[in-house]
Structure 1
Amino acid sequence: MGSPVYMQIFEDIKKKINNTELKPGDIVPSEAALCRDYGASRMTVRKGLALLVNEGYIYSIPGKGNFVSKPESNKYTIYFDEMENPINRVDQTRLLEVTIIMPDEKLAGELCTTRNKNVIMIRRLFYTEGVPVAYDVKYLLYHKGMPIVEKEIEHATFTEMISNNMPIFALKKEIMIYAQIPDEEIKRHLNIYHNLSLLVVEQKLFDKEEKPMGLGITYFRGDYIRLQGTNA
């Protein structure tokens, strides 16, 4: 069975852009022309064009048409997973604590909640070949009757923790990366006895209405981790 027509439109135009038959700034064939060429409905054509827009190949100007985008050569995508990343793989986790807390002012602000609303705090350690490489803390908004299955939490990524309450594709994610000197508690958990910076990765997850659902902070030993991006 062949590909759906909208995918044929997507692939054909993408091929023309990649082989420079269509150059940045060139106008893409009109919807009417594509309907005629592919014997497709306007809805099918629009579906193929929408894929090209989402992939960054084209952009639309209302009343004028669709145009080939200029490649973003300085744009990189970072793939981040607490359990697996380009440098090391977490082969063991240890659940330190799962508890319900009242957030302080800073945490309440991050989660757009009040200080009298319950928040679930999850603390874990990640190991690589027996070495503790990361200290992980997650804060999830608590909902009455929300199940807390410690066995599942111990090995779950942040999105997996949230996706029990919402489809993963409906989640919006933000990430922030920075360096930090560890405090005494983190030094103790990561067996740090000398000056060593941490690579800190903060993740915030939002629902489809862009309301915060959780905050995750993972503190990686600087000598065991780094992130890699790609412009592919």
Structure 2
Amino acid sequence: MNKNIYLHIYNDYSARIQSGQLPAGKKLPSESELAEAYGTSRETVRKALLMLSQNGYIHKIKGKGSFVLDTQRMNFPVSGLVSFKEVSKNLGRSVRTIVYENGCVPSTSEEERRLQMKEPGPLWKVVRAREIDGEKIILDKDYFLTSYVPSLTAETAGNSIYAYLEGELHLTISYAKKEISVEEATPEDKLLLDLHDYQHIVVVRNYVHLVDTKLFQYTESRHRLDKFQFVDFARRAQSESDL
């Protein structure tokens, strides 16, 4: 075969994954097995596997091998400010919220910094896992200033907090600053989520403001990295010279 054999391997496996012939979670043959099957070197195989990994088809786990990722990832909007309940309506999947913590707690220095608190004080804290198709794949940690959100019932935490904030507390939620990063999974992530062998997690931090620009909520949404793709719509602004 020619020197572009790695492209042949890549195209072969990407097509098999896209067609469903190789389902999510399926382990690929070892580098040695692939090299023998395609009559090439392990170095060439590694190049093909790297391309498959970079394009979201497989996940390589050190010491265990390469595994097929779910290519039908769920879209999660980057822009906009929507609740999980609103997002879940468009998923077309079985969803459930599990409330691990819901109560008023003393602030920590980290939370005070995140919420720009001038002095320590109580915060309303809610920790919830989002289970989709039987797997807990999102961990949401919400902190609210009690001056705006004095209390939350367990029923509200398990349903839609934003419906309560807007419908009953009559807060006008306006905008949020978002930070997205990939970080090592914490012991809490591993305990409360179904991470399997994944050692990293996508973290979306939201700093949520009311219509009067007051920062009243900090949210940390921690997603299993194989299940989501974060999407946005962008439009290039036209200058007068473009018209």
TM-score class normalised by the smaller sequence = 0.5 to 0.7
1:230 lines up with 2:240 in the alignment: no
Count of residue correspondences: 155
Matched with 2:79 is 78
Structure 1 residues 176 and 90: alpha-carbon distance in aligned structure 2, compared to 1, 3 A threshold: farther
Unaligned runs of 5+ in 1: 1-75
Unaligned runs of 5+ in 2: 1-76, 236-243
Matched with 1:126 is 130
Q: Which amino acid aligns with 1:225?
A: F
The alpha-carbon deviation at position 82 of structure 1 amounts to 2.9
Identity %: 12
The alpha-carbon deviation at position 221 of structure 1 amounts to 0.3
1:99 lines up with 2:103 in the alignment: yes
Matched with 1:156 is 160
Structure 1 residues 105 and 161: alpha-carbon distance in aligned structure 2, compared to 1, 3 A threshold: farther
Bigger Cα displacement from structure 2, 137-146 vs 99-108: 137-146
Q: Which amino acid aligns with 1:176?
A: E
The alpha-carbon deviation at position 123 of structure 1 amounts to 0.4
Q: Which amino acid aligns with 1:210?
A: T
Aligned with 2:228: secondary structure?
A: coil
1:140 lines up with 2:141 in the alignment: no
Q: Is the 8 A contact 1:90 1:126 kept in 2?
A: no
Structure 1 residues 136 and 173: alpha-carbon distance in aligned structure 2, compared to 1, 3 A threshold: same
Using the alignment, how far apart are the partners of 1:155 and 1:82 within structure 2? 10
Q: Is the 8 A contact 2:139 2:189 kept in 1?
A: yes
- Residue deviations 1:8-60, cap 9 Å, x none? xxxxxxxxxxxxxxxxxxxxxxxxxxxxxxxxxxxxxxxxxxxxxxxxxxxxx
Aligned with 2:104: secondary structure?
A: strand
Q: Is the 8 A contact 2:184 2:201 kept in 1?
A: yes
Q: Is the 8 A contact 1:120 1:139 kept in 2?
A: yes
Aligned with 1:116: secondary structure?
A: coil
Q: Is the 8 A contact 2:124 2:149 kept in 1?
A: no
Aligned with 1:143: secondary structure?
A: coil
Aligned match for 1:198, one of 190, 193, 201: 201
Q: Is the 8 A contact 1:196 1:221 kept in 2?
A: no
Q: Is the 8 A contact 1:88 1:225 kept in 2?
A: no
Q: Which amino acid aligns with 2:211?
A: K
Structure 1 residues 93 and 214: alpha-carbon distance in aligned structure 2, compared to 1, 3 A threshold: same
Matched with 1:177 is 180
Bigger Cα displacement from structure 2, 215-224 vs 174-183: 174-183
Question: Aligned-residue CA RMSD in angstroms?
Answer: 2.8
Q: Which amino acid aligns with 1:135?
A: L
The alpha-carbon deviation at position 120 of structure 1 amounts to 0.6
Using the alignment, how far apart are the partners of 1:105 and 1:160 within structure 2? 29
Normalised to the residue count of structure 2, the TM-score between the two structures is 0.55
Normalised to the residue count of structure 1, the TM-score between the two structures is 0.58
Aligned with 1:198: secondary structure?
A: strand
Using the alignment, how far apart are the partners of 1:93 and 1:212 within structure 2? 25
Using the alignment, how far apart are the partners of 2:97 and 2:134 within structure 1? 10
